[in-house]
Structure 1
Amino acid sequence: MLTESHEALAREVLIHGPIGRSALGRRLGLSPASLTRLAKPFLERGLFVERGEESNGAVGRPVRPLDIAPDLGSFAGMKITGDAVYAVLTDARAQILAERVVALRATTPEAVVGVLAGIVSDFSAVTTAPLVGVGVSLGGAVDDSGRVIRAPFLDWVDVDFGPSLSSVTGLNVTVENDVVALVEAERWFGAGRGRSGFSVITIGAGVGYGLVVGGESVHTRGAGVGLGGHIPLDPTGPLCPQGHRGCSTAVLTSIGMCAQVASALGRPVDYAEVLSLAAAGDPVATAVVDAAARGLGRMIALAANLTMQPTVVLAGDGIGLWELAASQVRVAAAADRDPLAEPVEILVDDAGFRAWARGAAAVAIQAAVARLATSELLRGDPAAPRRP
């Protein structure tokens, strides 16, 4: 009978492989006999492979680490914004094999399904491993069926997007909030890999927040409603569109920063120009960037203080703020942290939109691993197809 232990084993080998059986047993709390029994169906169906013998430095037989099969499958991850789709093709460990950016001429669900289906077709034509799953992430609230409850940037409400895309592509489709997906990518494959707890703060057109505690992501019904977007950071700061003074949306978003500089200069500016002006010493842009850096440092300290997780991962398409003002951010974070507390560890994922797309691929990979534990792949004929 298949159990949750099969899924746990598949997850550990995927994330940490190649990994020896003794290390696996310790991580999963399994005896050697139990581990051998659980691994057997994965090995028989070619989902796992044994790597060459390695010495672990101890007396005894060399170990043969377990790893996932190199041709297990490939995955498409796609991040949808209000004007473009950022897509990556990855292997089963979310390593990027190819990528595309496609502008959206229309944002109706039907139009977006057509764009994503075209990208899937393109990726299928170039991958050597079968494309076995599609992950989609967007800013908004999503339920477990792949229905988009609300996506403000796309003006969507109650859209059965996942089932529609699956019907067109014939593939398993996983739809998730973009911050949730990014947190999962950082937890399994990214900066947070191997850490039991950390916060994720994303900056860009919006501000996102996620949390991992005890090795597991904290999922709530609030994911997708922008809970990180209105944290008060500066009592004298600008107003956000909802009238909150000095909140994270007003202080940290690229939209808010551009609005402040544009108002002072009397002309439109984009985010890249704001950062460029600040780097060149423009007083208006410098003041805005400095305030944003202080605000980001304060938000980092708040995340570490309130969650008691001293590691914070920064990501998002607005990560240029960190690249320009890292020292100010660190000083501000330390100022709001008790001197006796463990210093905050700030990790940075500077992949921009590629990180968002990789997050979408990660949730597709997670869904595939979950399917392995209930799939006919682990039953019946060992010669059965291996599609997860």
Structure 2
Amino acid sequence: MAPGPSVPTVAETLSHPAYPTAMWQLEPDRKGFTPVAEGRGGPFKISWEVHGEGPVKVVLIMGLGGLKSVWQRQTLHFGHERRDRYSVLLVDNRGMGDSDKPLMRYSSSEMARDLIEVLTSISWLPADLLTDNDTAPATRSLHIIGLSLGGMIAQELACLIPGHISTLSLCCTAATIENTTTFAENMANRASMLVPKSVDRSIGDTARQIFSPAWLSRPDDVHLPTPGTTPRCHPAGGPSPDYQRFTTNAQRFVAQELHKRRDPASFGLKGFLLQLIAAGWHYKSAAQLAAMADRLGRERILVMHGLEDGMISTPHGRKLIEYIQPGVGLIIEGMGHAPLVERWEWFNRTIEERCALGEKLDGR
């Protein structure tokens, strides 16, 4: 990998006074474990949380190797500060976080079915949706946002239940992973994911693949929770410390990665590799995506991709826009692979606008 911006070391980050508060303690309104995949290699449990109690139902689907806590900027914005308007569902996909990590073949379609079972268990979808008895007309109520592998799962979900989806936002994802570099570059990138590295090197390389260099170098710009005024928000480690800022955006990412990687029960190589297989083998043809868009409604679909995405290259986003012809298709200069973090203000505002459009189209 070519040299990039400097990323703070593990030692520097662990000693920073903000490190204990890197993971925000945002208390969900509901949480639980749903047994899924009976007859599909299960059952096993999927961990979920609902934040907020509003009528607008937002479903956030995380990507490869990510935990539901990665959405904490959106969880705070929608599920806490605007909790009367929104209800936000977070899940740990199979293989990650608090969910079970079965040793089996993972696929984006099976992971979408896991999510459908969670949605039925919390009554966001009809209980008989997955049976032959489902004869009730579909009600559009779900605002689906998927990132990377989560965007692949969201595509599968939209193919399975288009009539229940109010809006669909596909972020930094692909219809299928293709080689858009030279053969040598492609093989080097694939091999680098499996080569043993120090934690400093591994986190630094990941940061430079996900984020734009300019953003990594800027001062930590996140909007922090305010204990005592933000509903259902408690500072990490007890009531005394307030949430604090890191020196740079890069250091906040390093801190959050360290919290994840230091918990082997939540994050491990087995689950990562099984999710990687799901992403690598995901495939939706132009005809399949066009048929989905016809049924869902193109005006309800947003596709976005960054020109500085080092995980899934920009041609994948362009092709997804070509296949779907969404109401909004964005190729954004200077943006990397994680707009929910790197451009959180714009991203949150964009999701609000999509939700408002869907609610209006649905007559609510």
| Greater gyration radius | 1
| Larger RCO: 1 or 2 (CA < 8 Å, sep 6+) | 2
Q: Which has the higher strand share?
A: 1
TM-score between the two structures when normalised by the length of structure 2: 0.31
